[in-house]
Amino acid sequence: MYDSDFQPEIYDWIKKKNNNRFGAVLECCINYLDLRIHENPEDLCTFITFDTSAEYIFESKKVNPNLIEEFGSNLDIGGGTYFYTGFELAFKLIKDENEKFKREKSVIVLLTDGGDCNSTKTKKLLEEQLQNFPEVLIHTVGFGEAGNSQDFLKEIAQMGKGDFHLAKDNIELGKSF
């Protein structure tokens, strides 16, 4: 995420702190939320960052492009990429929310510029969770070279009945949403 082959192009507050791949991802998230608010303003979204651990940046908020600025302006990026940490947290939220709200569908979008440091653990977790939650849709987006993990990202998308996109520049990254 530290590489600067992708950079944010619109928002100065992002450029100041994250003029790199991470900033480009934040900018795409803002654009995606802006699109979602026009399509269905009642949608809820959660933003999870992960590297060696995962954490909620915001949880179960109505779609709003200002969420990224409100919660994301203090984000720092770490190192290492363990997909399962993000998926564990995502499925915990899905389980908790399904018990409360009986959601018809949940969608996970995994964005990464690197490979998974423990693909075996990720695959096992997904197999278990997708049996419990077959309605969950998983899309994957790799950008840059995606750590040469394109085959695994395709496999994750296939397991989750979703799509895989590879973005080699900001325009393709934006279109992936």
CA-to-CA distance for 163 and 137, rounded, in angstroms?
Answer: 9
3-class SS of residue 108: strand
Rg (CA), the chain: 15
- Do the domain assignments include residue 130? yes
A 10 A CB-CB count for 111 gives 22
Task: Write down the pLDDT at residue 76.
Answer: 62
- Do the domain assignments include residue 89? yes
- Do the domain assignments include residue 168? yes
CA-to-CA distance for 48 and 4, rounded, in angstroms?
Answer: 22
- Do the domain assignments include residue 147? yes
Of 162 and 167, more confident = 162
> pLDDT tens-digit profile of 96-106?
887 766 667 78
CB 1 within 8 A of CB 8: no
The pTM assigned to this predicted structure is 0.78
Q: What is the mean pLDDT of the chain?
A: 78
pLDDT of 10 above 70: no
- Do the domain assignments include residue 7? no
- Could you give the number of structural domains in the chain? 1
155: containing domain: 12-175
- Do the domain assignments include residue 5? no
A 10 A CB-CB count for 151 gives 10
pLDDT of 75 above 60: yes
Contacts 24+ apart (CB under 8 A), 67-76: 67/33, 68/26, 68/29, 68/30, 68/33, 69/11, 69/13, 69/30, 71/47, 72/26, 72/29, 72/47, 73/13, 73/17, 75/18, 75/22, 75/26, 75/49
- Do the domain assignments include residue 160? yes
Task: Write down the pLDDT at residue 92.
Answer: 92
- Do the domain assignments include residue 6? no
CATH code where residue 92 lies: 3.40.50.410
